[in-house]
């Protein structure tokens, strides 16, 4: 069944910066030595419900490295909020838990087609992701999408990648424009020279691939800022940017009032609604075919 890319009343929750990997391009500078956040995730989930959040998108770090993740997923399911997760797949490749069905869908991370992806993630990782997708889809009846980092190196790999996704039963692909992590040597290698031009070129590359994936293909343009709400591992609500400047901090998730601009602070539920409404005034997430 085709799924949508709705971002309305959604918060991306970066549970932790702990990860089994230390990819140089990671925007959160995650790694094996980064500790877990010292907060109560169950209280945080209750607070998100109070703020009228309808969907949580888990990221990190690596969500499946977070010790309380299984219990948190079950807790959020009981609250009635939709859940999705983006993962590098390493933990799931060793065993898929039954509670995986709690997710609306699972997004597997890719950084290019086979040659480029394996150069970054290790030999055989691309095929490991495809094998994992097959298990999730056939044995666990999970809807699987791909999360593709659109970088200066990966654009030319898109046609081959889409062919593999279609052949492997993926539901959808969300291309995400590269986000600066402020490590200059990394940003020089991966950053897009012109985001809008890259997206225009991507449309051309995908013009012959229309309808190959039931859930479609979209791009999340992080240069269109001030609308995508992230809850970070320290309990702050932020609006991330793909540019060099710092992310905008709305405040802490437990605050009664939050900032919607540097000079305007309003009641927390209204603040989140204001940011979500900005989504419709931008082309931050657009169909590619």
pLDDT band at 251 (very low <50, low <70, confident <90, very high): very high
Q: How would residue 225 be classed by pLDDT, with cut points 50, 70 and 90?
A: confident
Query: What percent of the chain is predicted at pLDDT more than 90?
Result: 66
Q: Is residue 179 part of a domain?
A: yes
pLDDT at 182: 77
Say which residue the tokens 């703020």 belong to: 51
- Please choose, from the candidates 121, 228, 245, 123, the residue with its C-alpha nearest in 3D space to the C-alpha of residue 180: 245
Residue 4 domain-assigned (yes or no)? no
The pLDDT value recorded for residue 7 is 67
Q: Domain count for the chain, please give it.
A: 1
How far from the centroid of its chain's Cα atoms is residue 88's Cα?
11
Each residue's pLDDT tens digit, 32-63: 554 444 468 999 999 999 999 999 999 988 99
Residue entry with tokens 């609006």: 239
Q: Residue 37's pLDDT is what?
A: 41
Q: Is the pLDDT of residue 208 over 80?
A: yes
Cβ partners under 8 Å of residue 186, min gap 6: 24, 25
Tell me what pLDDT residue 1 has: 34
The packing angle between helices 41-50 and 69-79, to 10°, is: 20
Tell me the residue range of the domain where 204 lies.
10-287
How many beta carbons lie within 10 A of that of residue 190, not counting itself?
A: 20
- SS3 of the chain: helix, strand, coil, percent, to 5: 35, 20, 40
Any domain includes 262: yes
Nearest by Cα to 222 from 147, 272, 162: 147
Task: Quote the pLDDT of residue 2.
Answer: 40
Structure tokens belonging to residue 231: 């809850």
For residue 264, tell me if it sits in a domain.
Answer: yes
Do the domain assignments include residue 259? Answer: yes
Q: Is residue 73 part of a domain?
A: yes
- Please say if the pLDDT value at position 5 is more than 70: no
Tell whether the model's pLDDT for residue 3 goes beyond 70. no
Residue 56 counted as domain residue: yes
Q: What is the pLDDT of residues 160-207, one digit of tens each?
A: 999 999 999 999 999 999 988 778 888 899 999 899 899 998 988 888
Q: Per residue in 126-149, pLDDT tens?
A: 999 999 999 999 999 999 999 999
Instruction: Return the residue matching tokens 């931008």.
Output: 282
User: What pLDDT is stored for residue 243 in this prediction?
Assistant: 67
CATH of the domain at 36: 3.20.20.70
Chain segment 83-132, per-residue pLDDT in tens: 999 999 999 999 999 999 999 999 999 999 999 999 999 999 999 999 99
pLDDT grade for 28, boundaries at 50, 70 and 90: low
State the chain's mean pLDDT as an integer.
Answer: 89
49-54 LR contacts (CB < 8 Å, sep 24+)? 49/79, 49/80, 49/81, 50/269, 51/253, 51/268, 51/269, 51/272, 52/9, 52/269, 52/272, 52/273, 53/9, 53/10, 53/11, 53/81, 53/272, 54/8, 54/9, 54/10, 54/81, 54/82
Cα 288 → chain centroid: 18
Mean per-residue pLDDT, 2-17: 76
Residue 38 resides in a domain: yes
Interacting residues of 114 by C-beta distance below 8 A, sequence separation 6+: 126, 127, 160, 164
């Amino acid at each position: 069944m085709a799924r949508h890319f709705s971002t309305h009343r959604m918060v991306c929750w970066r549970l932790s910066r702990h990860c089994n990997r230390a990819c140089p391009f990671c925007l959160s500078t995650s790694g094996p030595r980064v500790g877990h956040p010292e907060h109560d995730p169950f209280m945080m989930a209750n607070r998100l419900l109070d703020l009228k959040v309808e969907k949580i998108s888990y990221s990190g770090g690596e969500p499946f490295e977070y010790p309380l993740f299984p219990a948190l997923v079950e807790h959020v399911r009981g609250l009635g909020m939709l859940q999705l997760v983006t993962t590098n797949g390493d933990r799931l490749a060793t065993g898929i838990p039954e509670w995986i069905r709690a997710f609306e869908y699972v997004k597997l991370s890719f950084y290019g087609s086979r040659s480029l992806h394996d150069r970054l993630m290790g030999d055989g990782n691309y095929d490991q992701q495809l094998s994992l997708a097959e298990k999730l889809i056939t044995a666990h009846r999970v809807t699987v999408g791909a999360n593709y980092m659109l970088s200066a190196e990966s654009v030319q790999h898109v046609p081959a990648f889409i062919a593999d996704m279609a052949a492997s039963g993926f539901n959808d692909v969300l291309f995400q424009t590269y986000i600066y992590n402020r490590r200059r040597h990394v940003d020089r290698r991966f950053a897009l020279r012109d985001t809008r031009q890259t997206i225009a070129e991507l449309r051309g590359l995908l013009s012959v691939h229309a309808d190959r994936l039931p859930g479609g293909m979209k791009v999340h343009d992080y240069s269109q800022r001030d609308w995508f709400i992230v809850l970070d591992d320290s309990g702050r609500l932020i609006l991330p940017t793909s540019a060099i400047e710092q992310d905008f901090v709305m405040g802490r998730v437990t605050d009664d009032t939050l900032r919607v601009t540097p000079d305007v602070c309003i009641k927390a539920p209204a603040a989140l609604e204001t940011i979500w409404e900005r989504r419709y005034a931008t082309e931050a997430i657009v169909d590619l075919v």
